[in-house]
Structures are given as structure tokens and as C-alpha cells.
């Protein structure tokens, strides 16, 4: 398996522009997570899905952020409009295995998208 795939790897945009980050999870995983990582705030969970349904979006900073998972193999995180304070590395992760025991509760992270908003 190719692992979790994220695109783009780097994104530089100007304040006010719309940004869309993409994620392809590992096939067979029930859960998909979006995280944001900054030096100041560390690793933050933004939202997670179970079987394509959003379960907990309490970490989404504000209405400018939205996430969708139209099918089991694709998810997007959108920021509209973007602001400089959104600059961070955004990670997508998937896991655990569908129907697996607790011993399989591992999250598999993608390489991240480094977002810079000027």
C-alpha cells in the first residue's frame, strides 16, 4: 500500500484566497483525521470522520474551515478565506482497520501539507 497520500505537499497563497488540501487514506481504514501542527500550538486535531461521516469537528478553528469526505478514498480540508495565522503543516491520518481489535488502533499519517499564507 502507498500509505496516506496528501496533496499538495507545499502551498503558498495570499491572504483571502481559498485553499483546498486533499487526502487519500489507506484502503480499508474506518477513520480519517485532519490535524494541524504549529510550533506555538503543537499538534491539534481539527476533525475526524468514521465511515465518511464527520464525528467530531470541535477542533475546527472557525467557520472558515470546512472538511468533507465524499467517499471512503478521498477527503478535503478547505480554508476560505485564508489568513496568515492559518500557516501551518496540515496532516491527514487514517486508521484503525475496519472491525479490527484494539491492538490495531494505530494512526497512519501522511507526509503533510505545508501551508504558507502571505
Q: Residue numbers of the site for other proteins (CB under 8 A)?
A: 4, 30-31, 33, 42-43, 45, 50, 55, 91, 93, 96, 102-103, 105-112
Residue 85: exposure state from Cβ atoms within 10 A (0-12, 13-18, ≥19): exposed
Classified as helix, coil or strand, 60 is coil
Nearer to other proteins, 30 or 64 (CB): 30
Q: How far is the CB of 4 from other proteins (least distance, A)?
A: 8
Cell 484494539, located at residue: 102
Q: How far is the CB of 9 from other proteins (least distance, A)?
A: 10
Q: Give 75's strand partners.
A: 23
Q: How far is the CB of 81 from other proteins (least distance, A)?
A: 27
Helix ranges, 9-113 (H): none
Nearer to other proteins, 56 or 83 (CB): 56
Q: How far is the CB of 110 from other proteins (least distance, A)?
A: 6
d(CA 54, CA 32): 9
d(CA 45, CA 2): 23
Nearer to other proteins, 42 or 70 (CB): 42
Nearer to other proteins, 74 or 108 (CB): 108
Amino acid at each position: 500500500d502507498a500509505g496516506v497520500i496528501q496533496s499538495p505537499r507545499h502551498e503558498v497563497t495570499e491572504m483571502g484566497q481559498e485553499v483546498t488540501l486533499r487526502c487519500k487514506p489507506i484502503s480499508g481504514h474506518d477513520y480519517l483525521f485532519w490535524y494541524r501542527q504549529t510550533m506555538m500550538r503543537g499538534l491539534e486535531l481539527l476533525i475526524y470522520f468514521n465511515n465518511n461521516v464527520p464525528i467530531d469537528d470541535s477542533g475546527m478553528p472557525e467557520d472558515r474551515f470546512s472538511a468533507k469526505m465524499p467517499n471512503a478514498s478521498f477527503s478535503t480540508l478547505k480554508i476560505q478565506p485564508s489568513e496568515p495565522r492559518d500557516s501551518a503543516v496540515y496532516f491527514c491520518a487514517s486508521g484503525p482497520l475496519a472491525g479490527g481489535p484494539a491492538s490495531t488502533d494505530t494512526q497512519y499519517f501522511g507526509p503533510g501539507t505545508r501551508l504558507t499564507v502571505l
